[in-house]
Structure 1
């Protein structure tokens, strides 16, 4: 039997392709991965998080985007589309900075889905934390009220779990998001469905 040959594309070809209308893709070392559609709960949670962060950042030098802004992890040869991303970097916000991606995010939020959870928890987490600018990586479950924050500390990364009724601290932005605000109108149960609660 013959082996299937993997067809890799260049970074410049990937970036040019992403400017065209149609399906979006993430990119890792020459391979592209199509982005799938989101559920209503996923879209609602992303919108809620984005709205609260955007309102908090008004009048500051930081900016936030939801779903359509890529993050470039140069050391991993990767471009990802996080669900919500915040940058406060002059490098990212300068007039002559690339308009289709960020290189120095401060906060990255991924809303977990059954199809993406393993990638968000492993590959993306391992690559995102290579970014010196990143202070907080947030994972939010779309099937139950549950969130996790990985926060860069003086001695490495700290991990915090946030449960229903609690608030999710984003210390690098000097703000807190209530779980009620995150899950507003998302029809997600407060009680866990998984074995780890």
Structure 2
């Protein structure tokens, strides 16, 4: 049996390919992973969360970004596109790149069947290495379910679960709260 050898690329090669590509890819330790298109529910939830946070934070020093901004999880080794990210204060970019941020305080990922294991596992573990990150939110697109992780003052990640449309998610890193009914507005299961 013939074993195919993986071809690894550098982060710089990844950036060059990304700039020429018509699609987005994430980068992990020398490998690129193309991101597939999202379902209607995924897009509605991402827009609701992003617009809701933007409206609540527009008069603060915080910035809300959609999934087109890349986050550096591990310099030259791991880059990802969260569904929503928030920065408060100065926007810091990775080594002269205006498309890659390094200091999010809050990240939201919308779970899909193909990415939920990665979002809960390896990706969350990598996100925890970002010093500025205080909150990580996983939103299910198939039912009312929000998994909320926040870093306490001891640096430990605390878990909370919300699954009632009347529940309200109170953020700790930003002065905002969103109800599940707002996050899931017009979403059909």
Unaligned regions of 5+ residues in structure 1, if any? 189-197
| Aligned counterpart, 1:108 | 107
Deviation of 1:98 (Å): 2.5
Structure 2 matches for 1:19-168, cutoff 5 A?
A: 19-74=19-74, 77-92=77-92, 98-155=97-154, 156-164=156-164, 165-168=166-169
The secondary structure found in structure 1 opposite 2:178 is: strand
CA RMSD of aligned residues (A): 1.8
**Cα displacement (A) at 1:103:** 0.6
Question: What is the deviation of 1:67?
Answer: 1.2
Matches of 1:97 and 1:180 in 2, distance apart? 39
Q: Tell me by how many angstroms 1:23 deviates.
A: 1.6
Query: CA separation in 2, counterparts of 1:61 and 1:49?
Result: 18
Is the CA contact (8 Å cut-off) linking 1:66 and 1:84 kept in structure 2?
yes
- Structure 1 pair 86–109 and aligned structure 2 pair: CA distance change class (3 A): same
Deviation of 1:30 (Å): 0.6
What secondary structure is seen at the aligned counterpart in 1 of 2:20? coil
Aligned to 2:172: 171
Closer/same/farther in 2, CA of residues 107 and 97 from structure 1, 3 Å limit: farther
- 2:105 alignment partner, SS class: strand
Q: Deviations over 1:144-171 (max 9, x none)?
A: 0110111000231100101211011111
TM-score, normalised to structure 1's length?
0.90
- Secondary structure of the residue aligned to 2:185 is coil
- What is the distance in 1 between the residues matched to 2:124 and 2:21? 28
Rounded Cα–Cα distance in structure 2 between residues aligned with 1:86 and 1:154? 20
What SS is found at the alignment partner of 2:106? strand
TM-score normalised by L of structure 2? 0.93
Alpha-carbon distance in 2 for matches of 1:186, 1:163: 14
Q: Structure 1: how far apart are the matches of 2:117 and 2:76?
A: 18
Cα distance in 1 between the residues matched to 2:2 and 2:35? 29
Distance in 1, matches of 2:179 and 2:96, equals 33
4+ residue segments displaced more than 4 Å = none
Consecutive unaligned residues of structure 2, counting only runs of 5 or more, are none
